[in-house]
Structure 1
Amino acid sequence: MTKAEFLNLKSVRPAPDDLPRSLRNFIDYRKSGLSLNHIVGCPLDCGYCVRHLFENFSMKRPHLIVDDEIAVQELIGHWAFRAHTTPIQIFNRATDPFLPGVKTHLFKTLEALDRRGLSNPVLVITRWRIDRSDVERLEALKNLQLTILVTWSGIHDERVEPVPSAIAAGSLEVLAKSASRVKKILYWRPIISGLNDTIDHFASARRLSELADATVFTGLFYRKEIQAYFREAGVPDLYTDLARRKILPRDTESRILAHFEGRPIFRKTSCGVAFAHGTPDFNGHFGISEICSICPEGQREICSKHHHKPDTEAVRSLARSVSLADLNGIEISDRRIVV
């Protein structure tokens, strides 16, 4: 099957029996909420994709692990799920949610959550095509606090990213024209020094930011598996060092912020989402001033009003729920909780 045929598939296959356990476990507890990934497989071939870490990059056709209704039931039954509170990300680890065969399941999953009256923040990340009919279906949701994050990089090297950035730009234009309840983020990533950090790239990103409710920028997730893939593809090492976190050199960030002066731009995804919806940051970054220094004053005021140091016993109660043993070793400061 050709890549074009993969990209136009209108259906997904059942997952194979030998699917790795890391992918068969379709609910992932992450630092920013619960991630639901009951479809795996993607033909987009973005070289920096996290699927390299799950040994799943070669699976080009999307496969369904469980039915959408079962996935939703297991999600809301997860030990970490709290109705109206827990942030949810859908299809953000192993496929693109707006591929033709996948978006049918995206809509069914969103509608199943919405029918339950849940108002949780829901994040959907895509670099693929969104059309007007897609937005109409998303706008029909009544309860979920939905945000679409459109990934755009401006990278032209097909060895790194074969998907034209014009597709993401077109999706953002569609959202700008037809979305109101659903919020839209320009997800500017990955920014890689020497590859897509020129003045022209900055100017393009700023123009696109006019179509979005907020812009979030971030660097490259550069692990050994991703480095190895690029080397095999003939791409020179993008950085000399590997890192557990995303890499964004300080000088690159300074130039970005100077170019975006006067526009809402954020270092953290949840900060941009909070600004778009006019709510406090659900990840509570406000205590870390060096993250929040670029946020608009109005957003800092919202987060400040909702930022409270929790009671020790409340933290201990949560620690018990995840079976942490040393309840006396908990440290609570204005910035963070250490267990």
Structure 2
Amino acid sequence: MAEIDFTRAKSVRRAPDDLPTSLRNYIDYRKSGLSLNHVVGCPLDCGYCVRHLFENFSMKRPHLIVDDEIAVQELVGHWAFRVGVTPIQIFNRATDPFLPGVKKHLFRTLEALDRRGLSNPVLVITRWRIEPSDVHRLEALKNLQLTILVTWSGIDDERVEPVSSAIAAESLEVLAKSASRVKKIFYWRPIISGLNDTVEHFESARQLSDLADATVFTGLFYREEIRAYFRDAGVPDLYAAVARRKILPRDTERRILAHFEDKPIFRKTSCGVAFAHGVPDFNGHFGISEICDICPEAQRKICSEHHYKPDLETVRELGRVVSLARVDDIEISDRRIEVSGSSEAQRYFMQHALNFQVHDRAQPHRLNRHGRAEVGWE
């Protein structure tokens, strides 16, 4: 695999004044919670990275937007933050948290949150190198419900992913040897039909899953910006169409599940995190029963005991909190709350407050698609 140039990535500079607004706003709400990204820039060059969507892919050196303590103060003072409830992601949008120079900011951020006595779920996603000393420092945290998600794809086409997947495998081994309080997820992604979905890839993934508390598998974000990047790199179109949601065709999923029939494997990130910690899913997927049909019985029991259909006025009040335009147009079924004219931040805040799925009518979730793109399911 290609060598990564870290000569400019071992230290973190202050971000330039002309940083795009999409990055200058370093706190935003996503499906796995409030996302904190006050360090931006990454040399890893994974071709499918969401940095393409944030005008940031060309920034190879990590940059600091604000000091860690300021970032934490802004996070816990955010209108959507709720003590002990709101899930948090750190450095998941514009850098890798374990890069040289970046991880000291990761540790400072985690420790600043932990000192406040917060027990919120915290997700940290990496494909880079984790050292035993890193795990020792993470294990010293006393309050946060911390999960490390180690991304592995097995892709060996350097035009798509120049970083060797062996690095992630080694990091998972380090976690398996020394992490106890900190939970570890084998984050198998992106799975791309025709590229890394062979029996050999499946067998490698199965072996690595033995090192983790849970396995989560998912497909490819294939937006126009990412397709254009791949075309410029000489990569044939990975799928016939781009899509707003992740692409994972029906047949690929079927083969994955057949290969992992006796393993704890999950379609959704929050489901794997919940299983690892023995707690209910903070995204409330239990109402969408076809998502949960592969979950271990013990986890389904935990989620079922904490799954309550909310009353309409409670939901409307949350709608008012997030300034939802049409609170009188809310409908509730046993599966989901349905709203209109909403943003992702509005829906996800309500979803986490209720542990119940919230969908927008303009972006329907098709039966058995599990919130994925239609590509490969038609």
Q: Which TM bucket (shorter chain)?
A: over 0.9
The equivalent of 2:265 in structure 1 is 265
- Please tell me whether the aligned partners of residues 6 and 60 of structure 1 are also in contact (alpha carbons under 8 angstroms): no
- Structure 1: tracts of 5 or more residues without a match: none
Residue 309 of structure 2 is aligned to residue 309 of structure 1: yes
Q: Distance in 2 between matches of 1:57 and 1:3?
A: 18
Deviations along 1:267-305, whole A, 9 cap, x unmatched? 000000000000000000000011111101110000000
The equivalent of 1:54 in structure 2 is 54
- Structure 2: tracts of 5 or more residues without a match: 340-378
SS at match of 1:293: helix
The equivalent of 2:281 in structure 1 is 281
| TM-score normalised by L of structure 1 | 0.98
State the Cα distance separating 1:5 from its structure 2 match: 4.4
Change (3 A) 1:198 1:3: closer
Q: Give RMSD over aligned pairs.
A: 1.2
Residue 110 of structure 2 is aligned to residue 110 of structure 1: yes
**Bigger relative contact order, structure 1 or 2 (CA pairs below 8 A, ≥6 apart):** 2
- Please tell me whether the aligned partners of residues 97 and 106 of structure 1 are also in contact (alpha carbons under 8 angstroms): yes
The equivalent of 1:198 in structure 2 is 198
- Please tell me whether the aligned partners of residues 8 and 99 of structure 1 are also in contact (alpha carbons under 8 angstroms): no
Residue 85 of structure 2 is aligned to residue 95 of structure 1: no
SS at match of 2:143: coil
State the Cα distance separating 1:324 from its structure 2 match: 1.8
Q: Distance in 2 between matches of 1:325 and 1:91?
A: 31
| TM-score normalised by L of structure 2 | 0.88
Matching of residues 1-339 of structure 1 within 5 Å: 4-6=4-6, 9-339=9-339
Q: Distance in 1 between matches of 2:326 and 2:19?
A: 36
SS at match of 2:34: strand
Aligned length: 338
Q: Which is worse superposed, 112-121 or 8-17?
A: 8-17
SS at match of 1:133: helix
State the Cα distance separating 1:28 from its structure 2 match: 0.8
Deviations along 1:1-28, whole A, 9 cap, x unmatched? x974426733200000000000000001
SS at match of 1:56: coil
SS at match of 1:290: coil
Q: Which is worse superposed, 106-115 or 305-314?
A: 305-314
Q: Counterpart of 1:79 in structure 2: which amino acid?
A: W
SS at match of 2:123: strand
SS at match of 2:52: helix
Change (3 A) 1:7 1:176: farther
State the Cα distance separating 1:100 from its structure 2 match: 1.1
Deviations along 1:232-281, whole A, 9 cap, x unmatched? 00000000011111101100100000000110000000000000000000
